[in-house]
Structure 1
C-alpha cells in the first residue's frame, strides 16, 4: 500500500523560494522547511530573506538566504548557480514576486508597462530558464510560479496586471510540455486575496476589505499559509502526475458571480 504521508514529506529535498521576505513567498519557504526541505530564501532585500531564514532555523528547520532581483536575468541566473553550489541538486524552485500598477489602459505609461512586464512575465521566463536548465540536466524537479485569480476575472485598472498573470498560466503550460520528458514538473498557484503585509492597509478600509471578502464563498480573505499549502503540495511527490496546471487557491472566487446570496434560507 502506498505510504501517503511519505508523499508529502520533503525530507532530503532542496528548495529555492524567490520572494521569501514576505507574504506568500515567506509562508511558502516556511511550509517547505517545516516538511523537511532545506530552503534557500531569496528576495530583493537580503535583510528580508535573512529574517525568514533565521525564523525557519529557530523552528528547527534548515534555511539560508540570498539577495536576488526577480526582474534581473543576471541576478536570477546567479541565484540558480548559488543554489546549485550550495545544494548540488535543486528539487524545488518557487517564484512569487509580482507587480501591479493599478491604472486604466488609457492611463498606462510605457514605463508602467515595462515595469509590470519585466517582473511578471520576463521574470518568470528568466526563472524558468535558470532553474529549468538545472532540473532538466538532473532529470527531475518541480517549478512553481505565481499567477492570480486576476488571470481569469478582472476589474477596471487591473487589465495589464491580469494579462501578465494569464500569460504566466500559458508559460506554465508551454514549459511543462517542453521539459516533462526530463521529469520536470511546471505548475502555478493562483490566489485571490490573502492577508499579508502588502494588503494590510485594506484592513483600515472595511468597505474594501468586506467587498473583496464577499467575492469568496467563505466571505473571508485567506491567510498566506493557506496559499503556501498549495505550494507545498505541488512541490511534493503527492503531485507527481501534476504538470502544466494552475491551482486556484481563491476561496471559490471564480466559482461564483458576485457575493453569494440567500445562504440563510438555503441552510434551513
Structure 2
C-alpha cells in the first residue's frame, strides 16, 4: 500500500508508556492517544496511575493503566504478561521512566550512580525484553527509547546521567541489530531542554535559562507537546523502515557549537 495520511495513524494499537504519570511521559501518552492509540499509563503509584488514566479518558482518549516499578523485574514481568493476556497486544512501547541526580563527579554518591542506572538503563532493558518477547512472537512492534541531548553531550554535575543516556542510545542500536528481523523497529527520541517538573530548578534559574536560550538556535526552552509529533511518527507505519536511529528534538542544540 502506498503512503497516505493514514500512515501516521495509530488506531487500534496499544501503547505502553513507562513513567507516564507526569511530565514528558504523560504528554507523550496524550499525543499517542490523540493519534488513535489505546494508551496504558504506567506509574509505581496505583492511585496516581488510575487518576491520570481517568483524566485522559475525560479528554476522549482510550486510556488504561498498569502499576509496576521498572526496577523490579519480577513485578514488571507479571504486569506486562497480565496486560498481554487480559487486554491484548502491546504494539508500542515507550521507555520513558527516568530519574536525575546532580553532583560533581568526584563527589558523586555511588548509591545515586546505581539508582540512576537501575532506572534509566536497567529499566529500559528489563521492560523492553519483557515486551519484545511478545512482539517477536507476533512479528511486529515499535519500541521508542527516550534518550536525551546528554546521549551526545555532557555537562558538569550530570556525568552519570549522560552515561546512562549514552548507553540507552547504544542499547537502541543493539535492539535494532537483534530484533529488526522480527519486524520490530526500535528507535530513540532525544529531547533537548524542556520545561518539565524534573527541570524546574533550571527553568527557574535565570542565569541558566538565559545561557540556554543563547545556546539553542531556536532561542527558547522546548514545550513538552512539541515531542508528540516525533513520537507519533516513530510509533506509526510511516517509520516502518527506520530502525536503530535517534531523533533529536532539541531546537537545534546538538547541531551547533
TM-score tier, shorter chain, comes to over 0.9
Counterpart of 1:21 in structure 2 is: 21
CA offset at residue 205 of structure 1? 2.2
Q: CA deviation at 1:96?
A: 0.7
User: Residue in 2 aligned with 1:88?
Assistant: 88
Q: What residue is the counterpart of 1:64 in the other structure?
A: 64
Q: Which residue of 2 aligns with 1:225?
A: 225
What is aligned with 2:118? 118
Secondary structure of 2:248 counterpart:
strand
* Higher mean C-alpha deviation, range 174-183 or range 99-108: 99-108
RMSD: 1.5
Relative to the length of structure 1, the TM-score reads 0.91
Partners of 1:112 and 1:143 in 2: CA distance: 27
Q: CA deviation digits over 1:126-155, x for unaligned, max 9?
A: 011111111001110001111110111111
What's the CA shift string for 1:9-47, capped at 9, x where partnerless? Answer: 111111111111111100111111111111111112223
Q: Secondary structure at the match of 1:42?
A: strand
Note the C-alpha offset of 1:208. 1.8
Larger radius of gyration: 1
- Where do 1:238-253 residues align within 5 Å? 238-253=238-253
Q: CA deviation at 1:3?
A: 4.4
CA distance in 1, matches of 2:221, 2:48: 24
TM-score in terms of structure 2 length? 0.95
User: Aligned with 2:202: secondary structure?
Assistant: helix
Matching residue of 2:30: 30
Instruction: Give the C-alpha shift of residue 78 in structure 1.
Output: 2.3
Moved more, 98-107 or 193-202: 193-202
CA contact (8 A) 1:16 1:83 kept: no
Match of residue 145 from structure 2? 145
5+ residue gaps, structure 2, are none
Aligned residues: 257
1:1-268 to structure 2, matched below 5 A, reads 2-257=2-257
Q: 1:232 to 1:107 in 2, by over 3 A?
A: same
* Alignment partners' CA distance in 2, 1:213 and 1:122: 33
**Matches of 2:62 and 2:249, distance apart in 1:** 27
1:262 corresponds in structure 2 to none
Provide the rounded CA distance (Å) in 2 between the counterparts of 1:201 and 1:170: 29
SS of aligned partner of 2:65: strand
- 3-state SS, counterpart of residue 190 of structure 1: strand
Q: Which residue of 2 aligns with 1:265?
A: none
Q: What is the distance in 1 between the residues matched to 2:130 and 2:98?
A: 18
Secondary structure of residue in 2 paired with 1:243: coil
Per-residue deviation, 1:160: 1.1
| Structure 1: distance between partners of 2:231 and 2:131 | 17
What is the rounded CA distance, in whole Å, between the counterparts of 2:186 and 2:41 in structure 1?
20
Displacement of 1:228: 2.4
Is this contact kept in 2: 1:24–1:228, CA < 8 A? Answer: no
Q: Alpha-carbon deviations, 1:93-126, whole Å to 9, x = none?
A: 1111112211222112221111111111111110
